Amino acid sequence: MNKQQALEVYTKQRRKMLANRYASFVCSWDMQTDAAPQSVIADSEQMGVLGEQEYELFADACFREAVETLCGCAAELDEVLRHEVTDMKKHIDETAKIPKEEYAAYQRLTAEAYPVYVEAKRKNDFASFLPYLKKVVEYARKTTQWLQTDKLSGYDVLLDMFEPNYTQKQYDEFFALLKEKIVPVIKKATAKTESVPEWATQPYYKEGQRKFCEYLRDVMCFDKSRGIMKESEHPFTSGFGTEDVRITNHYYENNFTSSIFSVIHETGHALYEQQCDKSLNGTLSYGGASMGMHESQSRFYENMIGRSAAFWKVHYKHLQQHFPVQLKHVSESQFVKYVNRTERTFVRTEADELTYPLHIMVRYELEKMLIEGSLQAEDLPAAWKEKFTQYFGITPPNDTLGVLQDVHWAYGNFGYFPTYALGSAIAAQLYAAMQRDFDVEKSLESGTTQRINEWLASHIHRYGCSKYPDEILRLATGEDFDAHYYVDYLVKKFG
């Protein structure tokens, strides 16, 4: 097969892959937002079929030959295609190691597990979810055996899926630095935490929250002609190219700031998708470079921007307009102080910036034990409480506020959690670089994040996943990853 023939085969097969990916995307979106509870059996079967088709597309012998041909003449390809076929070769090799029937069964399993998880969380019923979790953990362990290489084994195999070339060694060093520098600050800050003010616990009706969250989405310049927002149990962002980007939110009447920072977080993800170079549509190079890079965008907007006094100087009056009774006697400075308070909380998504990394460490350490086999799925609730108490000095009163609070394990996303902390650290480094180029806080006086969006589009978003994350970070900041930016940011703000 010559180069031209290989390009034709590759392009044709890629179109089929994208169509399959789109079908999976729409089906998954529907299951998490609009589908009726009893539709899970039919939906999970379709996900299984789509999984089989995806496997067959990657395993096709002619396609493999085309990819190998293109890799053999990589120097003659443009940079984007060269990166794409290199990644594709890795993916093809990995797929070949996984039994087809196992791959398809896993797609059905996770589709079935999600609604069971949602109900288990609602009822504080870990036992009902346990049979599914056991199977998900079993598959994850098998995956580490199927995909192990000379360089990667065990938990590292799963970590690499979400952050290329980032292993336990790097994460252990990263978390050790945070423990050394941040834990003393946490102890000092949480020792003087004030009680939650009465105005924050009043009912904030969902419709008012929804309207204000739509306002914030506009402030962040989310293009509504290319995206929508709905409601789900756990907020998330999903997309297909730059023209179809979808986010969800969740509204608690007794915790109104949860939806505020969730929508800022998810819109940060969405902007990454919408601001990729449109030339990457129709390729496999659109979207985030890694989950760490993706989380850097959401955490940047949520914390560096969304919790800043400069942001609320412009937008607090709009929040008061939606909740005039609850916030009548609450000043802007009181609100900003409240959303930046530090306290020990049970729920990761409601944690402040300073204690947030500890929530990730709990999950990271439990995942390592699960995958290596020293911890079994049925023992997770007790292990969670023990580990959480060790880090926070408080014990979750139930599993809903403990092991059941996150959806990630229902989908088998072992290795994802560490990228949240890594993303926060990358965000701090990007923030420092952005500040060198222009006054970030002053730019917020315009009423939107447009200037910030433009910088991120130019330095991060436009590349999609056509480059590796470490290369994109070097191009954006002029430096390799340096966690001290994150440490310095937290110490300055909370120390």
Catalytic residue, candidates 54, 84, 163, 266: 266
Tokens of 413: 């996303």
CB atoms inside a 10 Å sphere around CB 199:
17
Candidates 18, 489, 2; CA nearest to 281 is 18
* Amino acid at the residue 27: C
SS3 content of the chain, % helix, strand, coil (to 5): 70, 5, 30
Candidates 438, 426, 448, 172; CA nearest to 288 is 426
Contact 449, 143 (CB under 8 A): no
Candidates 264, 269, 265, 262; CA nearest to 246 is 269
Contact 290, 159 (CB under 8 A): no
Q: Is 266 a catalytic residue?
A: yes
* Measured distance CA(405)–CA(410) in Å, rounded: 11
Whether 459 has a binding-site annotation, put simply, is no
Whether 295 has a binding-site annotation, put simply, is yes
Candidates 413, 400, 398; CA nearest to 363 is 413
Whether 461 has a binding-site annotation, put simply, is no
Contact 422, 295 (CB under 8 A): yes
User: Which neighbouring-strand residues pair with 238?
Assistant: 246
Q: Which active-site residues does the annotation give? A: 266
> Which residues participate in the annotated binding site for Zn(2+)?
265, 269, 295
> Which residues participate in the annotated binding site?
265, 269, 295
